[in-house]
Chain A
Amino acid sequence: MEMEKVIVDSETMKRALTRITYEVIERHKNLDNLVLVGIKTRGIPLAKRIAERFRLLEGIIIPVGELDITLYRDDIRQTDEPVAKKNELPFDVAGKQVLLVDDVLYTGRTIRAAMDAVMDLGRPLSIGLAVLVDRGHRELPIRADFVGKNIPTSKDESIKVEMEEIDGIDRILLKKAI
């Protein structure tokens, strides 16, 4: 049996993304070098939505790339390290301010793999991290620069982000086995 509870609704989720966009603008004096890199699966539509907000607000097109990190699932404890598949990005990362985008920040291992993948492709000016949810329990010295929601969890709980593009609905669920 599993108990699940909606802890963030569609409106609140959209607001969190808008706030992240505003904060990114605040902390980047210059947006010319900014590129977004969504981490599969739900990091990709999240990155696209942030890029869309940039377009509407500032009339600029921020390039969006996608990274595939395999051997990783947020709801199953893995003994193997997540590693990046062979990735290609539609732009040269050299000299860019790369903003990684993911749905949930947990142990930090996915992000580490993502950073490795980006750095294999070139030398970016900087790498930042935006996540919709920070649920705690880091196992690596990694923190997010932009957080939609801090949701403290216990280790036997899990966070499921659902998005319209993939799941047909925008919401965040807290799940727990009972």
Chain B
Amino acid sequence: MEKILLLEDGTMFHGEGFGYEGECVGEVVFTTGMSGYQEAITDQSFNGQILTFTYPLIGNCGINRDDSESIHPTCRGIIVKEAARRPSNWRCAMDLDTFLKNKKIPGIQGIDTRKLTKMLRDKGTIKGCIVDAGIDLDQALLDLQNRKLPTNQVSQVSTPTAYPNPGTKRRVVVVDFGLKHSILRELAKRGCDVVVLPYDSSAQDVLSQLPDGVMLTNGPGDPKDVPEAVAMIKEILGKVPIFGICLGHQLFALACNADTYKLKFGHRGFNHPVREVATGRIDFTSQNHGYAVDPESLTGTNLMVTHLEINDNTIEGIRHRDVPAFSVQFHPDATPGPHDAVHLFDDFMESMDTWKEGKHA
């Protein structure tokens, strides 16, 4: 079925629909990962976005049981050059088309994703929609331009109620802003006794779990749309070790009086080299963020920069000078992407142990 990808500046791409039969509107972004489409599609940080894959063939190993990062993915749509017709992989449980149909995510293929990506890099991410070819396109463009995208993305993807993921070791409260399952997997691997709380939990809610540490997860959208979380972090800072990832990193920065800004076209992919400032060591990291911490805003705060992106020098990691709290913009949990930085979870474990020891000393 012929479909059109329409952008708010009037640009049109003709393609063929696949996946869910329907239309969608969202912010058009691109990811440069050459694999890991299942993880990307199910990553809640893509909530409300139409996701372009720069890699030309997507779906060739199908969808498997193990690699999803959420149960109900909420990315709006998928744009690919070519969707594989017949997947082949020993773990394959269904093809991408069926998966997208099940999850009600429309896709469009046959798009010149290289041209589209160049446009997005040039102009920055913009609103777009995938629509049927037969409709009134002038009207569709007007509707698109007048459409306000939602800003309550975190509340759409966070858990509505608290739930445990029991373990036998350190008690970690995970504040869910749209968590990737891989964060829970990494904590589970280390035996953590995890309690997942909704994004709008108060400091009292968090501390009443008597945590050894608090994990602030990734999530979609602008950190400034979640002021309640910033207030919560301010209150728990110094009372318990904190580790933030992605949106959690940005919220931690805001709570320490730093500022964030929107990147032109974001970092989405998993070939992003990041330098650890303390050692000069380079890690290749998985990233998915459209906002970043403003380096100038760190002046006068108690934060120091621990990680920097090599390509454009954006801040990729910070740490509080006086209390055990640190965060990274990239995904140490990887999936998809390289596991270079997974040791940060071990650092978090050690940070909790040191803190505990100090409390009893």
Contacts and interface: CB of A to CB of B under 8 A. Distances in A.
Given A19-B350, A23-B354, A56 B278 contact: yes
Most A C-beta atoms less than 10 A away, residue of B279, B281, B347, B351: B279
A57 B322 contact: no
A53 interface: yes
Nearest to B321: A25
Instruction: Give the interface SS of chain B, mostly helix, strand, loop or mixed.
Output: mixed
B324 A26 contact: yes
Contacts, number: 37
B354 A57 contact: no
Contacts of A23: 354
Contact of A25 (B276, B304, B350): B304
A12 to B, nearest CB: 8
A18 B321 contact: no
A137 interface: no
B279 A53 contact: yes
Contacts of B281: 14
Contacts of B306: 57
A11 interface: yes
What's the interface size class on A, roughly? 10 to 19
B319 to A, nearest CB: 6
Contact of B304 (A12, A19, A58): A58
Nearest to A29: B322
Contacts of A14: 279, 281
A25 B280 CA distance: 18
A25 B324 CA distance: 10
A145 B54 CA distance: 50
A22 interface: yes
A21 interface: yes
Contacts of A57: 277-278, 304, 306
Most B C-beta atoms less than 10 A away, residue of A11, A26, A56: A26
Given A26-B321, A26-B322, A58-B304, A53 B278 contact: yes
A123 interface: no
A26 B277 contact: no
Interface string B252-282: 0000000000000000000000001111110
A14 B281 CA distance: 10
B49 to A, nearest CB: 35
Given A12-B343, A14-B281, A19-B347, 11 more contacts: A11-B343, A18-B276, A18-B278, A19-B351, A22-B319, A23-B354, A25-B304, A26-B320, A26-B324, A29-B322, A53-B278
